[in-house]
Copies of this chain bind each other. A is one copy, B any other.
Amino acid sequence: MTISRRHFSHLAAASTAALAAAASTARAQGSGGNPSVKWRLTSSYPKSLDTLYGAGPSLAKIVGEMTDGKFQIDSFAGGEIVPGLQVLDAVGNGTVECGQSYAGYYIGKNPAFVFDGSLPFGMTPRQHYAWYTFGGGKALIDELYDSSGVISINMGNTNGQMFGWFRKELKTVDDLKGIKMRVAGFGGKVMAKLGVIPQQIAGGDIYPALEKGTMDAVEWVGPYDDEKLGFHKVAKYYYLPGVLELEANNGFYINKAAWAALPPHYQAILRSACAATLLEMMASYDAKNAKAVGSLVAKGTQISVLPPEIIKALRKALEEVLDEEAAKSDQFKRILASWRPFRNEQHRWFSLADARTEMAVYTQSQ
């Protein structure tokens, strides 16, 4: 996933001084009641990606309902205040009080952010939240955001994604060599090991590049979002399984000073509101993707399955990339030491239980 950078800031950024003043107003109204607080939320997404962007307005609505309208959050799309990939900085430096984004966008700043977003051959949403809540993940992730001046709360997830759109069929690992593919972050590092030339281009620029043939393939999200961007018109093969992203966790980022200035019951309200938006986004993607995949097939898309040889090579590449990053960063190494055994244990359990049950049930549903 990434977002269009074509819209640039056109609204004045709130100064950190103004932010501090607003925070002290909130404090001054004392505990026990519901003080008036007004925040701006900057999103990584354009409004057209309604499921991702929609989590911001949903959160604002829920928080408003829980505070009798006293805690107001105004949502802005990527580019309206700051570009979509600068949400972490904008929240950390107090340009805005809060934002919504995907941690995978910040692996250039620190590769360890990938553990809060999604990893190839990684965890599903449920496995991720099991690690986060009961496997020691939260403390490690909090430390990661703390150094950027941000508190992050999980607020959304795309669920499992597709492997991507290709203009040509993939038969062997060699077919990947030299392919120019739009693929975000860690997925790009893994694909590069197999000879793919990863491209980091904005959402709105992908379609023309595929059409002109200057790009050969794209990984974006899943049927509902992909159909909106029109990839089925210029690439025939829609590959699965989506081993590059079994999820994409989204975070609600809060400026540390703004968070500290909130009364404790408002902090608790934000935490629960994020749980509600997270469940809503997951339900929304599952409902929409199940319909959109049928629509794409009706329009001529060829659903295709990756050869096992390619999946095996990708898995090997992923583990190599993880070890390389761990050798470069102590923080990455510490998180990996918690994440990897937890992932392996979850994979063993799900291969016996939920995933096996699902396949047994779906086979009977055909």
Contact = CB atoms under 8 A, between A and B. Distances in A.
A356 B282 contact: no
Interface string A276-296: 101110111011111101100
A240 to B, nearest CB: 6
A102 B93 CA distance: 47
A305 to B, nearest CB: 8
A226 to B, nearest CB: 12
Contacts of A364: 121, 311-312, 315
Contacts of A291: 345
A134 B33 contact: no
B357 A241 contact: yes
A361 B240 contact: no
Q: Interface size for chain A: under 10, 10 to 19, 20 to 34, or 35 or more residues?
A: 35 or more
A113 to B, nearest CB: 21
Interface string A53-91: 000000000100111100000000000000000000000
A67 B66 CA distance: 10
Nearest to A287: B134
B130 A265 contact: no
Contacts of A357: 160, 240-243, 246
A203 interface: no
A127 interface: yes
Contact of A362 (B242, B282, B293, B350): B350
A2 interface: no
Interface string A336-366: 0000000011111111111111111111111
A271 interface: yes
A276 B355 CA distance: 24
A240 B362 contact: no
Contact of A241 (B32, B240, B290, B360): B360
B287 A133 contact: yes
Contact of A286 (B243, B282, B286, B346): B346
Chain A interface, DSSP helix/strand/loop, else mixed: helix
A71 to B, nearest CB: 10
A134 B32 contact: no
Given A135-B287, A311-B364, A265 B66 contact: yes
Q: Which of A33, A241, A357, A364 has the most C-beta atoms of chain B within 10 angstroms of its own C-beta?
A: A357
Contacts of A355: 355, 358-359, 362
A129 interface: yes
B160 A67 contact: no
Q: Which of A34, A133, A276, A279 has the most C-beta atoms of chain B within 10 angstroms of its own C-beta?
A: A279
Interface string A99-134: 000000000000000000000010011110111111
A360 B359 CA distance: 12
26 contacts: A31-B68, A33-B33, A34-B34, A68-B264, A121-B361, A124-B358, A126-B159, A126-B282, A130-B287, A133-B283, A160-B353, A222-B353, A241-B356, A241-B357, A242-B353, A242-B357, A243-B357, A246-B361, A275-B278, A278-B279, A286-B349, A289-B353, A290-B348, A293-B353, A311-B360, A351-B362
